[in-house]
Chains A and B, each alone.
Chain A
Amino acid sequence: MVSYAFHVNGKAQRVESWDPDQPLLYLLRNGLGLHGPKFGCGLGQCGACTVLMDGAAVRSCSLPVSAAQGKSVTTLEGLGTPEKPDRVQAAFIAEQAAQCGYCTNGMVMTAKALLAKTPRPTAAQVKEALADNLCRCGTHTRILHAVLRASQA
């Protein structure tokens, strides 16, 4: 077992892994009980596992835990709570931008990274930013409206 230290949602955390290549996702979900990031494909193709690492959206399903050493990770839980959602989460709730909701973690986290760089994106920029985030229920137009709403909040 090797120990890895990094910050998660502002708190110093230490996790142990028998395999340095274990994806960060499993340690967040099983080690730290953070269920916001979801397993979707394990291939970095769908975005359901997205977290922010030092502010950039990364795919935690294919990021080895060793690569998170010393970094600052933010998960969906770190943004806001049901009672006090952050502005992107609040915009998704206002637009009722989910069906099953399994992809929404990736949508919200990728939108956070986009808005940090581009505070007032056009619809085309939002579509481009979310091009590699998949939604199977067909909630795309609501997600698009939610991100635009958040950008105006």
Chain B
Amino acid sequence: MTAMPDLSRRGLLKAGGALVVSFSLDAAWPARAQTSATLKTDLGKTVDANEVDGFLAVHPDGSVTVYSGKVDLGTGFRIAVRQMVAEELELPVDRIALIEGDTALTPDQGPTAGSTGIQRGGVQIRQAAATARQALLRLASEALKTPPDALVVENGTIRAKTGGKRVRFGDLIAGKPFALKLDPKAPLKDPAVYAVVGKPLPRPDLPAKLTGRHTYMQDFKLAGMLHGRVVHPPAIGARLDAVDEASISSIPGARVVRIENFLGVVAEDEWAAVRAARELKASWSGGGGLPGSEGLQRAIRESPVQADEALVHRGDAPQVLGAAAKKLSATYYWPPQSHASLGPSCAVADVRAEEATIWTSSQATHKYWPHFAKFLGLPVEKVRLVYLDGAGCYGMNGHEDAAADAAILSRAAGRPVRVQWMREDEHGWDPKGPPQLLELSASLDDGGKIAAWSAEMWIPAATKGLPNIPLLSPAAAGLPQPQGIGTGLISQNADPSYTVPNVRVVAHWLKDTPLRPSNLRSPGKVANTFAVESLVDELAAHAGADPLAFRLQGLDDPRGIEVLKRVGEIMKWEPRNGPSGGGSGADAHARGRGIAYIHYKHAENYIAMGMDVTVDRSSGVVHVERVVCAHDCGLVINPDAVKNQVEGGILQTLSRALFEEAVFDSNRVTSVDWASYPILKFPDVPEVVVELIDRPELPPVGAGEAATAPVAAALANAIFDAVGVRLRQVPMTPERVKQALAHS
């Protein structure tokens, strides 16, 4: 081991304003070849989202490259967006290449979050393709001296309807730019004659993924690359007092990088970096002061509120609830949860004096581009973020942090650096889906319909004045970065998806939350729908009504009615007006069925979900046997990819609802592996039946997250049907089930 110079921020800044580090290089640190694989940051290609050339290039051989700011996180976007382009351009999908999430090549289409890949990104690219089609028709009209309406576009060529004259795309445009603005009025193909959209085409990346030939982020290497690891503190926010560099002197080539409270190691050999990070002795002080998991609900109630916001105010819910002969009230809690990505986050950075390239699995390369420029002290245009596939993330996980780690280490080491987090880093330090606390009240009218609804939510500030730090390592190193990290649209769907005349929804926006928050699949809606559809079920039981009939009675939207009816049909639902599993306790294994419904964001998907469960009264173990989902997301681009997403959303949320809670003490997260943070395993997996309702005449909405929202409520309602108790807190562990049974 060779000691590195003190890399305090002051020392670095002294070196010339920007973060410039110089080392006394020894033989183990060869000078970096200027011919390394670093990509150029300026490629001269427009990334303007208003320009057709931002999104599309037609090559001389007639093939097309699509440049997408949205990325495929394992969702099937990669085939679906090709299908959309293929349809408009009349080109086989395998003639279309796709570049994703590269700040030097792709337009900024916003993060791949909120299930907006197809809904916004794909639709924008489709319009670029439709504009390009019109341009190609105009060019062909001139070339063939035939009016555009006498031309046919097919299979990458344009031909005259009669006479046999034809010209290929490649000959018309031959690699030249279109130099055209996106035309919002460029006509789209009639869905009635779709040939490619709506087909379950296989995903092009799977053969390589299944045979070990796909280059994941974790597999990406650069010449001269070092391996790095970060050493996270024993308490959140702790100060680094001292580092004993001699403690890793026996590990070949390992070096310490210390910048204020940022501590990392680099080595030529990955295992050396792993062992060095593990064995490096450092002393820390301060930090911590967290309420701990046990005290979290109380802490949430006592937490300073930044603002109270009335999100929905219709009719006069307080008055109607106050006057109601009987109102039902309940409190629901959803704990902080980890993305728990299966592969720890990984990135490679090549940071040089004048420019930097960072390869990352971030779902938001454009969004975090300015962050990297700021903490590296480089102009944005000299920084390039390039997306590569990683292990699944379901919102912002540790990908961006690992990328920042790699960038800081590369800057310090003067070489490209690859950082992969260890398991305890991922579980311990990824930003968490924040805890949510809801208090709901509702009453019925004389006809047994919901008359009034009140929801109060205690949730961390999501959109303004965010106090949290977005990226860990720049904060630890004392480097500047824009403040704030979003949690997604966490306040939606706290009012039911039914016709209710009096509704009041209030968000108590908390100034902060103990664990750094981020958006985790179906942000907020997953907890809100758990609460809402649980209380709706309680109202049905209170009214002595069948849960399915009660929900149908509250709906006049035919798309909502259809999904609920489909689930009822598939499940062969028998009406019930109270627990059906035998509340008497005679049978140790009680069976139950539950149902839940959502109109996602009151604007997007219509989803109904039914669940069959058994509950073991003695052990408290809940086993889900079957999940049935009817899913309407408008136009379906690729039904198999949508089904895969819906199935995945269901199983992942079952996992969250049954098993998952990020546990922490006063210092840091303690659920840092798969034993302390268990997730769904194969023996727990139910049969999953997904029925898609395709609406080719409607725009496509997202399919990645909405189906997660009704899962926990359908589960809780099925448990109630089985054993007559209501579980109002996630995860629904055997202990909680037993506790609820003991108090019933």
Chain A residues engaging chain B, CB cutoff 8 angstroms: 17-19, 22-23, 26, 29-30, 34-43, 45-46, 48, 75-77, 79-83, 85, 89, 92-93, 96, 98-105, 108, 126-128, 130-142, 144
Cα–Cα, bound, A19→B272 (Å): 9
Cα–Cα, bound, A10→B680 (Å): 36
CB contact under 8 A between A132 and B681, given known A18-B269, A89-B211:
yes
Contact A76 B212 (CB under 8 A): yes
B209 within 8 Å of A (CB atoms): yes
Contact B203 A96 (CB under 8 A): yes
- How far does the Cβ of A95 sit from chain B's closest Cβ, in whole Å? 10
Q: How many residue-residue contacts, CB under 8 A, span A and B?
A: 180
B252: A residues at CB distance < 8 A: 18
Partner of A102, one of B392, B420, B680: B392
A105: B residues at CB distance < 8 A: 212
Contact with A along B258-278 (1 / 0, CB 8 A): 000000000001111011000
Give 19 A-B pairs besides A30-B269, A136-B392, A138-B649 with Cβ atoms closer than 8 angstroms: A26-B270, A29-B219, A35-B213, A42-B423, A43-B673, A45-B675, A76-B211, A77-B212, A92-B206, A96-B640, A100-B74, A100-B389, A101-B210, A102-B341, A104-B210, A130-B682, A135-B342, A141-B688, A144-B685
Nearest CB to that of B343 among chain A residues? A102
Cα–Cα, bound, A100→B688 (Å): 19
A-B contact pairs, 11 of them (CB 8 A): A19-B275, A29-B270, A36-B211, A36-B212, A40-B344, A43-B423, A85-B211, A89-B211, A98-B209, A99-B392, A137-B648
Contact with A along B556-582 (1 / 0, CB 8 A): 000000000000000000000000000
B202 within 8 Å of A (CB atoms): yes
Chain B residues engaging chain A, CB cutoff 8 angstroms: 73-75, 202-203, 205-216, 218-219, 252, 269-272, 274-275, 340-344, 389-392, 420, 422-423, 640-641, 644-645, 647-652, 655, 673-675, 679-683, 685, 687-688
Cα–Cα, bound, A128→B681 (Å): 9
A142: B residues at CB distance < 8 A: 644, 647
Minimum-distance CB pairs A-B, first 9: A36-B212, A138-B651, A100-B74, A100-B392, A138-B648, A99-B74, A76-B212, A101-B209, A82-B207
Partner of A42, one of B207, B208, B389, B422: B422
Cα–Cα, bound, A77→B209 (Å): 10
CB contact under 8 A between A46 and B74, given known A96-B640, A135-B342, A141-B688:
no
Q: By DSSP majority rule, is chain A's interface helix, strand, loop, or mixed?
A: loop
- How far does the Cβ of B430 sit from chain A's closest Cβ, in whole Å? 12
A30: B residues at CB distance < 8 A: 269-270
B74: A residues at CB distance < 8 A: 98-101, 137
Contact B342 A102 (CB under 8 A): yes
Nearest CB to that of B687 among chain A residues? A141
B389: A residues at CB distance < 8 A: 100-101
Nearest CB to that of A130 among chain B residues? B682
Cα–Cα, bound, A41→B427 (Å): 10
CB contact under 8 A between A41 and B218, given known A100-B342, A136-B342, A138-B652:
no
Nearest CB to that of B426 among chain A residues? A41
Contact A99 B644 (CB under 8 A): yes
Cα–Cα, bound, A103→B115 (Å): 23
Contact B207 A35 (CB under 8 A): no
A108: B residues at CB distance < 8 A: 210
CB contact under 8 A between A48 and B644, given known A138-B655, A144-B685:
no
Cα–Cα, bound, A1→B645 (Å): 47
Cα–Cα, bound, A131→B423 (Å): 19
Cα–Cα, bound, A4→B215 (Å): 27
Contact B211 A80 (CB under 8 A): yes
Contact A100 B73 (CB under 8 A): yes
A75: B residues at CB distance < 8 A: 212
Contact A104 B209 (CB under 8 A): yes
B685: A residues at CB distance < 8 A: 127, 140-141, 144
A23: B residues at CB distance < 8 A: 271
Partner of A46, one of B213, B218, B674: B674
Contact B211 A77 (CB under 8 A): yes
Contact B674 A43 (CB under 8 A): yes
Partner of A26, one of B215, B271, B683: B271
Q: Among the interface residues B212, B272, B420, B652, which one has the most CB atoms of the partner chain A within 10 A?
A: B212
- How far does the Cβ of A151 sit from chain B's closest Cβ, in whole Å? 15
A135: B residues at CB distance < 8 A: 342
Partner of B674, one of A29, A39, A45, A82: A45
Cα–Cα, bound, A22→B274 (Å): 10
B655: A residues at CB distance < 8 A: 138
B683: A residues at CB distance < 8 A: 127-128, 131
Contact B682 A139 (CB under 8 A): no
Cα–Cα, bound, A105→B272 (Å): 25
- How far does the Cβ of B439 sit from chain A's closest Cβ, in whole Å? 31
CB contact under 8 A between A96 and B271, given known A41-B423, A102-B216, A102-B343:
no
CB contact under 8 A between A141 and B651, given known A45-B673, A48-B342:
yes
B645: A residues at CB distance < 8 A: 99
Nearest CB to that of A27 among chain B residues? B271
Cα–Cα, bound, A140→B210 (Å): 15
Cα–Cα, bound, A136→B393 (Å): 9
